Structure 1
Amino acid sequence: MFHRTQDEDGRVVEMDNHEILEKIGQSDMVLAGLGEDFDGSAFLGKDERYLAGCGKLKEAGFRWLMPAWNEYCAEKSGNNSVETALERLGEILRGKNFFAVSVSTDSRAADLGRVVMPCGSWKMKQCTGGCGGALSEVTEQDRDRLWHFFEELYRGRLPEENPLSGACPQCGAALVLNNVYAENYDESGYLDQWGLYRKWLQGTLNRRLFVLELGVGMRFPSVVRWPFEKVAFFNQKAYFCRIHEKLYQLTKELSEKGCGISKNAIDWLGEL
């Protein structure tokens, strides 16, 4: 498919999918950024029961359940577009020296392998008060309790009890899911992987680097959007590709070394 878009100054930028895949294949390293599109917003936002549940979770102070609620509703709808897109991205990156940064909270992004998720997901638990070092994995029992909780929520009733089992080993407080929606988000869960990412990034200078930004909006621009622009700007051998339905424009400085595609990133990957 051929794409014809514009940068911030109205300059025409042209590129087709075949050329993009060819450039990725020719690159030494690939830096991929995953954004809000991978939370399934394109189709979940059309489900009134999903939206009603979001409102109830927010009202009850249960926003930390949002990543799990998103995946439950995607599973309930039978829409596998996010999973399919991640699998396709994995195929594109296979055999490449890559690192991915995801501001999506969809846990399936972790299956890419070399990825850091600064916003967390629903696969880890933390202390309500954010006690450092109190992180633990979500168990199968927790998962079953979560899905039962969501079954009730999907029907329109919000259960009052916390669906997670256990208590903080340090202070005895209740546990919540370890993600950016938690009131006292414990960021220690991703810091080791973030260190590996920063070290990997140092090795991209003067290498043929393909920067692929997928569905990244302005929710957390300081994590992916702005740093990726900076990396591409300073690397003379970098090529920058930005996929976003609305915020696809390139800066003037990157217009001659990249392309912007006006499309939902999940749909775009599905077409490759």
Structure 2
Amino acid sequence: MKPIEQIAEKIQQSDMVLIGVGDEFTEKKGKNTKEEILQAYQKVMDLVKRKPWFLVTVNTDDLVYDAGVNSFFVVAPCGSDRSGNVVTNEDYDESCYLSQWQYYRNWLTSTIGKKLCILELGVGMAYPSVIRMPFERTVLYNQKSSMIRIHSKLAQVPEEIQNRSICYDENPVKFLNTL
């Protein structure tokens, strides 16, 4: 089965989709252009268009919004370059994302007992407590869930969830754009 078929099948079989976007989905590492990233976001939205979804990103580049992703279903706890409020700033104001984070937590609670597909794109070890570790725990505890992890170097998953995971050792932007 081709990768796109595997991914589409997992998403189609799910009730809901949780998307995590990490730093391999940016221009910062010099591996992707803005145009490639915007196109990859569109591919993701095409894959999940018939499912309830939510997207969590540690990226501050705001490209998720430039791609036309519905911001009502996006939380970016590390901040925004445009607003100048970024987690690495000394005066970072965490309250800017907290109401959206609470909405995300409520959404995540609604996935209990449902077939949840977690699509993790380029999430490495930058802020692992925001996406990577909580997503793994979600798959571990929700026995109806599955994970698709795409990362060029850190695509592996813990042994406890391997049987419900598909991992691709690829740059997620390039991978999605070649599907």
- TM over 0.5, shorter chain: yes
Give structure 1 stretches of 5+ with no counterpart: 3-15, 46-73, 125-176
Residue 150 of structure 2, aligned match among 236, 243, 258: 243
Task: Give a deviation string over 1:153-198, Cα, whole Å, max 9, x none.
Answer: xxxxxxxxxxxxxxxxxxxxxxxx1111211210111111000000
Secondary structure at the aligned position of 1:123 is classed as coil
Equivalent residue, structure 1, for 2:79:
120
8 Å CA contact 1:34–1:216 kept in 2: the answer is yes
Instruction: Please tell me whether the aligned partners of residues 37 and 104 of structure 1 are also in contact (alpha carbons under 8 angstroms).
Output: no
Runs of 4+ aligned residues of structure 1 deviating over 4 Å after TM superposition are: none
Structure 2 unaligned runs (5+)? none
How many residues get paired? 175
Residue 252 (1) aligns with residue 140 (2): no
After TM superposition, give the deviation of residue 42 of structure 1 in Å.
4.4
Structure 1 letter corresponding to 2:12: G
Structure 1 counterpart SS, 2:138:
helix
Which whole-Å deviations, capped at 9, do the CAs of 1:113-171 have from their partners, x for residues lacking one?
A: 211000111232xxxxxxxxxxxxxxxxxxxxxxxxxxxxxxxxxxxxxxxxxxxxxxx
> 2: CA distance between counterparts of 1:262 and 1:98?
24
Other-structure match for 1:63: none
Q: Which residue of 2 aligns with 1:190?
A: 97
- In structure 1, the partner of 2:8 is 21
Residue 219 (1) aligns with residue 174 (2): no
Give, in angstroms, the shift of residue 108 of structure 1.
2.1
Relative to the length of structure 2, the TM-score reads 0.91
Separation in 2 of the partners of 1:80 and 1:200? 30
C-alpha distance in structure 1 between counterparts of 2:146 and 2:28, whole Å = 28
Q: Deviations over 1:56-79 (max 9, x none)?
A: xxxxxxxxxxxxxxxxxx5xxxx5
Counterpart of 2:35? 80
The residue identity in structure 1 corresponding to 2:74 is V
Q: Which residue of 2 aligns with 1:8?
A: none
**Does 1:231 find its partner at 2:150?**
no
Distance 2:25 2:105 in 1: 23
What is the CA RMSD across the aligned residues, in angstroms? 1.6
Alignment of 1:1-272 (within 5 A): 2=2, 16-43=3-30, 79-110=34-65, 111-113=68-70, 114-124=73-83, 177-272=84-179
1:221-242 deviation per Cα after TM superposition (whole angstroms, max 9, x unaligned): 0000000000011111101111
In 1: Cα distance, 2:57 partner to 2:28 partner: 15
How far is the alpha carbon of 1:203 from its aligned partner? 0.8
CA distance, structure 1, for counterparts of residue 163 and residue 105 of structure 2 = 26
Q: Distance in 2 between matches of 1:91 and 1:194?
A: 24
SS in 2 for 1:206: coil
Counterpart of 1:82 in 2: which secondary structure? helix
